[in-house]
Amino acid sequence: MAPVRIFKALADETRFKVVKLLLTQDLCVGALAKHLSISEAAVSQHLKCLRKAGLVKGEKRGYWTHYAVEKEKLLELAGLLGDLTRLEPCLECFCVKKPTSDKDCHKEEGKMCDCKCQQPDKLKTKPAECTLEQIRTCHGEKEHPCASGVEKKK
């Protein structure tokens, strides 16, 4: 599932209304157009976007195609949003360079990557503007990925 595509599809007010209507009952393009007071062509374009996002499906019934919401997709999206609310808070990574590993900050017990700032309140500016002393205060004496991008300042 591509959650961004689904969010983009639902971000349009008319498409959101289409989904709400289709959650109450299956409807054809003509019925949706009548309920929404827009043209059938406009409804078709909105349905096309919702189909591409995987939110609706059509079923041919006689001469008309009736559309229904893929409720499983909405439930997946709700689960994803629920998971987001349970993420452990982490400090913003102040590194100039990206970490060398491809690890997501939240994959390992909700911890940030190894180059996170231990005392961000003491690092008051961007890493490129920090002195080596500020970086040492924040990260200790060990070599830090940010330090290589910082010029020595006094």
- Tens of each residue's pLDDT in the chain, 154 residues: 588 899 999 999 999 999 999 999 999 999 999 999 999 999 999 999 999 999 999 999 989 999 999 999 999 999 999 888 887 655 444 443 344 454 444 444 433 444 555 555 555 556 566 667 766 666 666 555 554 554 444 4
Rounded CA separation 6/8 (Å): 5
pLDDT at position 17, please? Answer: 97
DSSP 53: T
CB burial readout 78-113, b (16+ within 10 A) else e: eeeeeeeeeeeeeeebbbeeeeeeeeebeeeeeebb
pLDDT at position 97, please? Answer: 39
pLDDT at position 37, please? Answer: 96
Sign of the C-alpha dihedral, residues 48, 51, 56, 62?
A: positive
DSSP 26: -
Please, are residues 12 and 46 in contact by the beta-carbon 8 Å criterion? yes
What are residue 45's phi and psi, to 5 degrees? -65, -40
Angle at 40 between CA 37 and CA 46, to 5 degrees: 90
pLDDT at position 3, please? Answer: 85
pLDDT at position 152, please? Answer: 45
Task: For residue 126, give Cα distances in angstroms to 21, 47, 130, 143, 146.
Answer: 49, 46, 6, 18, 10
Across the chain, where does the E strand assignment appear? 27-28, 56-61, 64-69
Domain at 3-75, CATH from 1.10.10.10, 3.90.45.10, 3.90.1640.30, 3.40.50.2300: 1.10.10.10
Please, are residues 142 and 130 in contact by the beta-carbon 8 Å criterion? no
Rounded CA separation 79/33 (Å): 31
Q: Where in the chain is the domain with CATH 1.10.10.10?
A: 3-75
pLDDT at position 33, please? Answer: 97
pLDDT at position 87, please? Answer: 75
